[in-house]
């Protein structure tokens, strides 16, 4: 973990899938490119789960994140566009 943008700061987390078979750890994390990800997590006991499955795991490439288009009523189902990580973090902090 490099940075906590919002929420409680912890030194380390154990990330799991969820009770949904499609979100099990062996499915969620298999085939993912190595690198940095912006994760949206929720805590259940000692474990952390990506919020809304794959949509809670956004890869960071070249300092940008494929971010949800602002103003979209159904942002998750719509197209995303690359946005600088610093701008994404600023939006999250302001929300």
Q: Could you list the pLDDT tens digit for every one of the 95 residues in the chain?
A: 678 888 877 777 777 666 565 556 555 666 778 888 898 888 888 778 888 777 788 889 999 998 887 665 555 556 788 999 999 999 889 88
**Does residue 60 lie within any of the structural domains?**
yes
* Angstrom distances, CA of residue 5 to CA of 22, 65, 93: 27, 15, 7
The pTM of this model reads 0.72
State how far the Cα of 86 lies from the Cα of 80, in Å rounded to an integer: 17
**Does residue 31 lie within any of the structural domains?**
yes
Q: Which domain holds residue 60?
A: 14-94
State how far the Cα of 84 lies from the Cα of 67, in Å rounded to an integer: 9
Structurally, how many domains does the chain consist of? Answer: 1
**Does residue 3 lie within any of the structural domains?**
no
């Amino acid at each position: 973990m490099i940075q906590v943008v919002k929420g409680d700061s912890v030194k380390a987390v154990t990330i799991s899938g969820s009770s949904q078979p499609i979100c099990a750890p062996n499915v969620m994390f298999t085939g993912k490119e190595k690198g940095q990800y912006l994760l949206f997590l929720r805590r259940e006991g000692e474990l952390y789960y990506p919020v809304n499955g794959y949509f809670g795991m956004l890869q960071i490439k070249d300092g940008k994140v494929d971010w949800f288009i602002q103003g979209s009523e159904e942002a998750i189902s719509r197209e995303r566009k690359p946005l600088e990580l610093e701008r994404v973090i600023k939006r999250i902090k302001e929300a």
